[in-house]
Amino acid sequence: MEIAFTKLQGNGNDFILIDEHSGEVIPEEMKGGFAAIYCDRRFGIGADGVLFLQASEEADVRMRLLQPDESEAAMCGNGIRCLAKYAYDAGYVKESCSVETGAGIIPVTMGYVEDEFTATITMPTPAFERSAIPAVGDGEYKEEIQNFTVYAANTGVPHAVVFVKEIGAVDITAVGPVIRNHPTFVEGANVNFVEEAGDGSLRIRTFERGVEGETESCGTGATASAAVAHHLGKAGETVRVETRGGPLVIRFGETVTMEGPAETVFVGVIPF
């Protein structure tokens, strides 16, 4: 038996996509283990997660994301762009579609400009909370952890946002896990270290829950960081967020949107 897969990346945040639109390919009880094996960059294909594209009764398509630690993430900004590109190229959706996720139904608009694919995602409304516990007081949640002021925001998944003078000076592999696993975050959190660029834009680096390491980019993290910056008056309604893998544009209005690219890297088959 062979399993077809497609490798995609959004700003360097890379995924293995398994097409289950016509039916189950990987049995439910094996999905987590499959992600653990094939996300490995030495003994597998290598990826930050496995996207399962499925049919949906509530939206045009459904996205599920299994991570290298076998956990399932409710939402992924870069992942949803990659899934949307695959679905668009496969003819499952048109320029506008909806994607069912664990964080709700997500509207997407997309298309090609000079052979480059770009998608705009209407993100879950940022909530300034540490998990499912609502914010109190003036509508923001922050705490001092390891001598850092840590803000909390949920953009479909929980995030910690930490403003620093220079992101290059932060030992993310040392500090990231401490904040990610801090008891204040009931479900754990992705940790974003944010540097203000001086022109209203932000530079970020992200330690991701589930990957348990730094990734090249995190779409929900970029949105959470921009949302906290906007909330604190550090950024305007349009925020360019520079990740290690490239820029994302976050816009605040009646809704919050994230715009960025996605690219098919290669296709292949797995003996299974």
Report the predicted TM-score, pTM, of the whole model to 2 decimal places: 0.93
* pLDDT tens digits for range 39-82: 999 999 999 999 999 999 999 999 999 999 999 999 999 999 99
What φ, ψ does residue 37 adopt, rounded to 5°? Answer: -70, -50
Q: Specify the DSSP element, H or E, that contains 152.
A: strand 148-154
Catalytic residue among 39, 76, 82, 97: 76
Catalytic residue among 39, 82, 97, 218: 218
Predicted confidence at residue 129, as pLDDT, reads 65
In a domain, 94, yes or no: yes
Dihedral of CA atoms 29, 91, 76, 194 in degrees, nearest 10, equals 150
In a domain, 92, yes or no: yes
Same domain (yes/no): 7, 99:
yes
Same domain (yes/no): 112, 188:
no
Q: Is the confidence at residue 104, as pLDDT, over 50?
A: yes
Both tokens assigned to 110: 């997309």
- CA-wise closest residue to 162 among 206, 194, 123: 194
| Averaged pLDDT of the chain | 94
Q: Domain range holding 153?
A: 142-254
| Active site (annotated) includes residue 218 | yes
Count of domains for the chain: 2
